[in-house]
Structure 1
Amino acid sequence: MAIKRRDFLKATAATGAVAAAAGFPHIWIKDYGLARAANGEIKVGVLFSLTGTTAIIEESLNKATILAIEEINNAGGINGMKIVPIVEDPASDPATFADKARKLVVSDQCVSVFGSYTSASRKAVLPVFERRNNLYWYPTLYEGRECSKNVIYTGAVPNQQQDEFIPWLFKNFGPKFYLIGSNYIYPREENNYCKKLLAELGGEVVEEEYVPLGHSEFSSVINKIRSTQPNVIFSTVVGDSVVALHRQYRSAGLDPEKMPMASLTTSENEVAAMGGDAAAGHFTSAPYFMVHQSPENEKFVEAYRKRWGADKVTHFVSEPSYFQVYLFKQAVEKLAPSDITPENIREAVKGEEMIAPQGRVRIEPENLHTWLWPKIAVAKSDGQFEVLVESSEWIAPDPYAAYPNQQCTASGLVES
């Protein structure tokens, strides 16, 4: 049962003496919010699926988050306070995400939660954080069209992945696109933006199709691709389905030189699962690739492999999972222990910058999204990518790029 702050204070005022006598002096906290940062500890939730269809990717997000927390703690914590991660497994199920989020926020009194890969799971937990005025840190590229004061968005939005990608594909391969995605909000909204850009270029969508999460049989899709003969297969398939689609594409003898898959969701992690040969010749647009050359990225990759295994890979969702913990640290460092609340962390992180593995990133104060560095890369048979195009400057996030009459501002969603 949810406990409101005023009800909690009223109840503890009436029963505090009895509770203390019973051996529960921790109930005696003058301010309910102080339970989140007490005894030299800062409790945070870590909410990524370790089982289920999206565990193939989310397990690595958990690892990147834990790595950052361990590094910060080993370096002395935040103003001498240790970050205490409370890890939950929502098992790739949106309803379980909501239940686990409620536990982390209400029962565990976490000051922030780092979590989610799919938009379905983010949408499932959003009411929990908005109702409780807590803070959710979301590292995944996503479809935009959201303006919440209770989410820090560190992944790419459509304009940061597609504005250069779609014209580049159109120019290099042709105007006919086959759109294939998993059946939930993210692929549908990304495809809406893709269609908008294609219309401006004079391109054509020959087919638009969606499959259930966890789908593994793509023979009918392959047959439609053969019959429609697109120039580009634009994929927003996620999780285990990415592996199945690529393997079946290769088994069908289709040629990436003539008809490549161009993805917003295929990373080094999925490539490792499917094998380099199944991925070779296909393209991905993202702000980060493991091969990116920078001292910060070399440090990140080395630390990740040392902690989790020399065969592990980093990718464009594990990287923001990692750097967003450091942005959390920078925000909390500004606060006195008694002021460490979700609301104060949100205000403190606005405008924060750091040099992440991909380059300098910044939290946009207006919409709580992140300035990032778009790149286009081709998968190689060795399991890595080769970056072909890299933005010359960081790109501002525009979560409502597909809806020019709407804008996310610090005061909320504005419509004109």
Structure 2
Amino acid sequence: MSLNRRDFLGRTAALTTTAMLPTAVFADGTIKLGSILDASGPFDAYGKPMDQAMRMAVSEINEAGGLLGRQVEVTAYDTQSDMALYSQYGQQLTRQDKVDVVHGGILSASREAIRQTMRKTKTLYFYNVLYEGGVCDRNIFINGVTPAQQVEALVPFAMKNSGKKVYILAADYNYGQITARWIQKFVADNGGEVVGTDFFPLDVSDFGSTIAKVQTAAPDLVIAPLVGGAHLSFFRQWAAAGMKDKIALASTTLGVGNEHKVLTPEEGNGIMCAYNYSQELDTPENAQFKEKWAAMFDGDQSMHEIAVSHYHGIKTWAEGVRKAGSLDRMAIIEALETGISIMGPGGKVTVDPKTHHAVLDVHLMQMQDQQMKVIETLPQRQPVDTQAVCDLSANPNDNTQYEIEI
């Protein structure tokens, strides 16, 4: 995918497909991997590269001989960013396609729309996206950063580079609401003050009155857990109002879908963020990953934070299958619970047995000339927020998304 303004904000129709990788030759007895993603619709800038990452990971697995002597076959459905289709396709993957594992979901609502189906049908599920934390379910493994891994690192970094007075602008659903509370906590923990917090539905694209409100509050820093193409308008309008060089900006979401490549340098330069992945990471693993990606997708460079998390998730699942020596769901879960690690383009990824979340490197970054420049790497950060409420070793039958007390 060549990512530009039209692509990012565009709406494209796509048919539901059952897809096999063109590079693999499948025999009887394939291992079936189910995928449910927004490959078209409002969130396709996230979903398309995730789909590419899935296909690249599976291609690598198959080229290396597959798993347990069998090739991996992909059955992929495009929800077209329609939340109702997550439940429908989740049921179809488990009851009709009878897949061995499902990787998918982008928004937290999409995860919750299919998680119970996966649990009821005893189908192993991987959710590979940064989110608000708190999911405790032995049938799911989560590979994205949580607030304690990301926000706890970003807030002091951003305040050190700006000041103590902070204004929060967040998406108005559970991710934005919960992340805003974490920001409030970490601002207070670092001696700062939150002078305002506003929430916006995902379709809001006019931030003129909000910018005036922020100007009146006169913070040193705005932190923006805003989500999606409509919310990208804020960063453009902020720069157009002449505010970018007056009040510092940080975000927990900008860049995860390569939004920094959609913004001009004048709109994006200086914005601070903290993620597990940047294309600018200078490591052998990332260099190899980018080279393989470009070769497989005709020079495309659309990989981003959640695409890489998705890639990590599929490679982690594969390592669990190898260690289990079986496709039995519980055997794979128990193998993953030994604390399996892989090395990926974002660094070392380790399964936390207690929560089924990932222990990850987090990189503090600043946007410059449409790149996310790495300033500092914080290695192997634990998901301590979810660890505070979830212990699957002690309570293996738990099935809760906890709202972590902050």
Give the TM bin, normalised by the shorter chain: 0.7 to 0.9
Mapping for residues 78-117 of structure 1, pairs under 5 Å: 78-117=67-106
Q: Match for 1:221 among 194, 210, 214?
A: 210
- The residue number in structure 2 matching 1:252 is 241
TM-superposed CA distance for 1:200, in Å, is 2.1
- The residue number in structure 2 matching 1:387 is 374
- The residue number in structure 1 matching 2:114 is 125
Mapping for residues 139-154 of structure 1, pairs under 5 Å: 139-154=128-143
- The residue number in structure 2 matching 1:408 is 391
Q: Distance in 1 between matches of 2:297 and 2:27?
A: 30
CA spacing shift, 1:254–1:77, aligned 2, 3 Å: same
TM-superposed CA distance for 1:157, in Å, is 0.8
- Residue pair 2:204, 2:231 contacting (<8 A) in 1 also: no
- The residue number in structure 2 matching 1:281 is 270
Q: Distance in 1 between matches of 2:51 and 2:231?
A: 20
Q: Match for 2:302 among 313, 332, 336?
A: 313
- Letter paired with 1:341: D
- Residue pair 1:173, 1:258 contacting (<8 A) in 2 also: no
Q: Match for 1:211 among 200, 205, 211?
A: 200
Scaled by the length of structure 1, the TM-score of the pair is: 0.84
- Residue pair 2:354, 2:390 contacting (<8 A) in 1 also: no
Q: Greater CA radius of gyration, 1 or 2?
A: 1
- Residue pair 1:64, 1:321 contacting (<8 A) in 2 also: yes
Q: Distance in 2 between matches of 1:285 and 1:322?
A: 19
- Residue pair 2:367, 2:373 contacting (<8 A) in 1 also: yes
TM-superposed CA distance for 1:399, in Å, is 3.6
Q: Distance in 1 between matches of 2:72 and 2:265?
A: 37
Q: Match for 1:398 among 375, 384, 390?
A: 384
What are the Cα deviations for residues 384-409 of structure 1, in whole angstroms up to 9, with x where unaligned?
A: 11111211x311222437xx5x3433
- Letter paired with 1:130: R
- The residue number in structure 2 matching 1:136 is 125
CA spacing shift, 1:38–1:190, aligned 2, 3 Å: farther
Mapping for residues 9-408 of structure 1, pairs under 5 Å: 39-255=28-244, 257-267=245-255, 269-336=258-325, 339-350=326-337, 351-381=339-369, 383-391=370-378, 393-400=379-386, 404=388, 406-408=389-391
Q: Distance in 2 between matches of 1:148 and 1:54?
A: 26
Q: Distance in 2 between matches of 1:297 and 1:384?
A: 15
What is the count of residue pairs matched by the alignment? 372
Q: Distance in 2 between matches of 1:260 and 1:83?
A: 47
- Letter paired with 2:310: S
TM-superposed CA distance for 1:46, in Å, is 1.2
Segment drifting more, 241-250 vs 138-147: 241-250
Q: Distance in 2 between matches of 1:272 and 1:64?
A: 19
- Letter paired with 1:409: L
SS of 2:98's equivalent in the other structure is: coil
- Residue pair 1:377, 1:386 contacting (<8 A) in 2 also: yes
What are the Cα deviations for residues 202-240 of structure 1, in whole angstroms up to 9, with x where unaligned?
A: 322222111112332222222222221221111111121
Q: Distance in 2 between matches of 1:242 and 1:175?
A: 25
Q: Distance in 2 between matches of 1:309 and 1:176?
A: 46
What are the Cα deviations for residues 158-213 of structure 1, in whole angstroms up to 9, with x where unaligned?
A: 11102222122222211111111111111111111111112222322222111112
Segment drifting more, 282-291 vs 265-274: 265-274
- Residue pair 1:57, 1:270 contacting (<8 A) in 2 also: no
TM-superposed CA distance for 1:344, in Å, is 2.4
- Letter paired with 2:46: I
- Residue pair 1:182, 1:212 contacting (<8 A) in 2 also: yes
- Residue pair 1:90, 1:96 contacting (<8 A) in 2 also: yes
SS of 1:261's equivalent in the other structure is: strand
What are the Cα deviations for residues 251-284 of structure 1, in whole angstroms up to 9, with x where unaligned?
A: 21212x4312211111161122333432111111
Instruction: For structure 1, list consecutive stretches of 5 or more residues without a partner in the other structure.
Output: 1-36
Scaled by the length of structure 2, the TM-score of the pair is: 0.86
CA spacing shift, 1:70–1:186, aligned 2, 3 Å: same
- The residue number in structure 1 matching 2:15 is none
Q: Distance in 1 between matches of 2:281 and 2:316?
A: 21
- Residue pair 1:399, 1:408 contacting (<8 A) in 2 also: no
- Letter paired with 1:45: G
Percent sequence identity over matched residues? 27
Q: Distance in 2 between matches of 1:389 and 1:43?
A: 39
Instruction: For structure 2, list consecutive stretches of 5 or more residues without a partner in the other structure.
Output: 1-25
- Residue pair 1:134, 1:343 contacting (<8 A) in 2 also: no
- Residue pair 1:143, 1:399 contacting (<8 A) in 2 also: no
Q: Distance in 2 between matches of 1:173 and 1:83?
A: 49
- Letter paired with 2:253: T
- Letter paired with 1:387: V
- Residue pair 1:287, 1:374 contacting (<8 A) in 2 also: yes
CA RMSD of aligned residues (A): 2.1
CA spacing shift, 1:241–1:260, aligned 2, 3 Å: farther
What are the Cα deviations for residues 79-127 of structure 1, in whole angstroms up to 9, with x where unaligned?
A: 3211111110112232211111111111111111111111111111121
- The residue number in structure 1 matching 2:21 is none
